[in-house]
């Protein structure tokens, strides 16, 4: 029952822009399919699937019980709640009022180019082609200072660094300091849905995780930026998956360390043993099986579907207008939020720009990390692993290859990045020049880019670091 529930949940979350009848039919079909698989020998049910996928699915079925047992260890897991000391009932009327006040904001209808130009900043759009054929959009707010490259997190885009507005948006603050600001976009998000030979409607287009983003996307964008600016090094600031992909790049393609004068990791995500997110804890044990089933059904992209998200909202947040406002967005269901640092008036703008799409394989890869308690390449199952890696187990990333200076920003209440996992990463890296714990008890994962007190809690420290490198 657990596996079936996980499967249906991800199918629901992957459907966007479809009518209710179609969604209902997909769910019914998925339920019948999974029921059949649990009752009949799997070979008879999926004979049309390739041998590698079949082996992956069978392998997942044998590993799920152990993973579930580990993930449900009540002595180790603390499930955060959306209601905390800072989320008091007395705030309800204020939250509703502030949210409604933001519904008429023109920024809701503007794209990134419109947003930046509206506030009087210049912007350029560049296109970069990766070695494996993806066409990525990179946005630049040009200036005469040194180059800073910003990389977004999972389900994010370059919009993440401007959506908070000119008072708190990182891209604006950096430009005001004189920096030449470049904002990357990973393959598959709303700004990078092109390929030389493939179309997003094809499964092959979505056959990537954050491994490929680190191995191909980041190097291509960094090389392009350095060539365009005629410089040898840049400063890199990544948030969440933007840090994961950097660690992949610097481990797998170590020559790129010499092209980075400083890497700032806002909520570094590598090891995920102690991840707090209830939704991630729920989904992680079944991700190999769910990912295989989604491939069979032709579901390769994960995007939010507000109607389906309400099911999860009721489980995690309860019922009521505040829950409807906050938890209707998949981002908050995954990573939580903090009322103290949340600009509720700007939420309608945030919702119109985030999330921006990702492949199902990115989620599966993170889920594998939660279960394996390691930071390693994608696990395809014994047969394909042996063919790709020469071993039954995928190789761990060689973090010792990372020699570029790294600064890590983390917080106690981050649902994705637990301080214990940060400490493990810190001990594996020999190049951490700064380790900063945000001095705010409820600081959440998304606060690293949209917090109301961003300038005080994040930028003041970041500003000093950038000036020294």
Give dist(CA 120, CA 216) in Å, integer.
Answer: 33
Q: Are 166 and 260 in a shared domain?
A: yes
Rg (C-alpha) for the chain, rounded Å, is 21
**Is there a domain that residue 99 lies in?**
no
The CATH number of residue 239's host domain is 3.40.50.1820
**Is there a domain that residue 329 lies in?**
no
Give dist(CA 240, CA 414) in Å, integer.
Answer: 11
DSSP H/E element including 328: none
pLDDT, position 278: 76
Answer yes or no: 445 catalytic. yes
Give dist(CA 266, CA 451) in Å, integer.
Answer: 13
Q: Are 139 and 287 in a shared domain?
A: no
Catalytic residue among 158, 186, 192, 240: 240
Q: Are 266 and 283 in a shared domain?
A: no
170-226 pLDDT tens trace: 999 999 999 999 999 999 999 999 999 999 999 999 999 999 999 999 999 999 999
Tokens coding 194:
């092109």
118-176 pLDDT tens trace: 999 999 999 999 999 999 999 999 999 999 999 999 999 999 999 999 999 999 999 99
Last residue of a domain, one of 366, 391, 416: 391
Percentage of residues of the chain with pLDDT beyond 70: 71
**Is there a domain that residue 308 lies in?**
no
**Is there a domain that residue 56 lies in?**
yes
Nearest-10 crossing angle of helices 51-71, 360-372: 50
**Is there a domain that residue 325 lies in?**
no
Q: Are 204 and 74 in a shared domain?
A: no
- 376, 369 contact by CB (below 8 A): yes
pTM more than 0.85 = no
Q: Which residue has the higher pLDDT, 309 or 195?
A: 195
**Is there a domain that residue 343 lies in?**
no
Q: Are 148 and 254 in a shared domain?
A: yes
**Is there a domain that residue 27 lies in?**
yes
Instruction: Annotate 119-184 with DSSP letters as a single string.
Output: TT---EEEEEE-TTSEEEEEEEE--SS-EEEEE--TT--GGGGTTT-TTT-HHHHHHHTT-EEEE-
Check whether 44 has a pLDDT greater than 60: no
Q: Are 255 and 370 in a shared domain?
A: no
Q: Which domain holds residue 425?
A: 110-270+397-468
Q: Are 158 and 13 in a shared domain?
A: no
pLDDT, position 347: 87
Q: Are 243 and 194 in a shared domain?
A: yes
Local confidence band at 65 (pLDDT 50, 70, 90 cut-offs): very low
Last residue of a domain, one of 368, 391, 414: 391
Q: Are 265 and 407 in a shared domain?
A: yes
Alpha helices in 2-91 (DSSP H): 2-13, 20-39, 42-45, 51-71
Q: Are 237 and 220 in a shared domain?
A: yes
Last residue of a domain, one of 391, 408, 439: 391
Check whether 95 has a pLDDT greater than 80: no
Give backbone dihedrals phi and psi of 81, rounded to 5 degrees, phi first: -115, 150
Answer yes or no: 468 catalytic. no
Q: Are 151 and 63 in a shared domain?
A: no
**Is there a domain that residue 371 lies in?**
yes
Tokens coding 47:
């004979």
- 169, 350 contact by CB (below 8 A): no
Terminal Cα distance for the chain, rounded: 53
- 180, 147 contact by CB (below 8 A): yes
Average pLDDT in the chain: 81
Q: Are 57 and 139 in a shared domain?
A: no
């Amino acid at each position: 029952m657990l596996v079936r529930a996980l499967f249906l949940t991800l199918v629901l979350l992957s459907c966007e822009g479809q009518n209710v009848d179609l969604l209902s039919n997909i769910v019914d079909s998925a339920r019948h399919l999974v029921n059949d698989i649990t009752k009949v020998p799997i070979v008879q049910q999926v004979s049309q699937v390739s041998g590698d996928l079949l082996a992956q699915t069978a392998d997942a079925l044998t590993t799920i019980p152990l993973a579930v047992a580990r993930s449900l260890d009540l002595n180790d897991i603390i499930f955060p709640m959306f209601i905390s000391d800072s989320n008091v009932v007395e705030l309800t009327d204020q939250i509703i009022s502030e949210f409604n006040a933001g519904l008429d904001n023109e920024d809701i209808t503007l794209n990134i180019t419109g947003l930046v130009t509206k506030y009087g900043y210049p912007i350029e759009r560049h296109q970069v082609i990766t070695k494996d054929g993806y066409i990525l959009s990179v946005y630049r707010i040009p200036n005469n200072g040194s180059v800073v490259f910003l990389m977004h997190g999972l389900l994010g885009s370059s919009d993440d660094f401007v959506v908070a507005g000119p008072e708190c948006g990182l891209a604006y603050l950096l430009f005001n300091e004189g920096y030449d600001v470049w904002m990357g976009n990973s393959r598959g998000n709303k700004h990078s849905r092109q390929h030389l030979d493939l179309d997003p409607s094809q499964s092959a287009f979505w056959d990537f995780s954050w491994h490929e983003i680190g191995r191909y996307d980041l190097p291509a964008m960094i090389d392009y930026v350095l060539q365009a600016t005629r410089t040898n090094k840049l400063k890199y600031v990544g948030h969440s998956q933007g840090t994961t992909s950097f660690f992949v790049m610097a481990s797998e393609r170590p020559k790129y360390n010499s092209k980075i004068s400083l890497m700032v990791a806002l909520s570094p995500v590598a090891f995920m043993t102690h991840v707090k997110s209830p939704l991630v804890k729920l989904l992680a044990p079944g991700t190999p099986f769910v990912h295989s089933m989604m491939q069979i059904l032709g579901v390769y992209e994960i995007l939010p579907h507000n109607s389906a998200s309400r099911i999860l909202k009721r489980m995690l947040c309860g019922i009521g207008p505040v829950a409807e406002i906050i938890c209707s967005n998949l981002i908050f269901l995954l990573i939580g939020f903090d009322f103290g640092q949340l600009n509720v008036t700007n939420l309608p703008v945030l919702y119109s720009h985030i999330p921006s799409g990702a492949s199902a394989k990115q989620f599966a890869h993170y889920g594998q990390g939660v279960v394996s308690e390691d930071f390693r390449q994608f696990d395809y199952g014994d047969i394909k692993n042996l063919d790709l890696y020469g071993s039954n187990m995928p190789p761990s990333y060689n973090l010792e290859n990372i020699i570029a200076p790294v600064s890590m920003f983390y917080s106690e209440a981050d649902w994705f990045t637990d301080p214990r996992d940060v400490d493990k990463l810190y001990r594996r890296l020999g190049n951490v020049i700064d380790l900063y714990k945000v001095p705010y008890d409820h600081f959440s994962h998304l606060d690293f880019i949209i917090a109301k007190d961003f300038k005080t809690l994040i930028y003041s420290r970041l500003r000093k670091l950038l000036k020294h490198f």
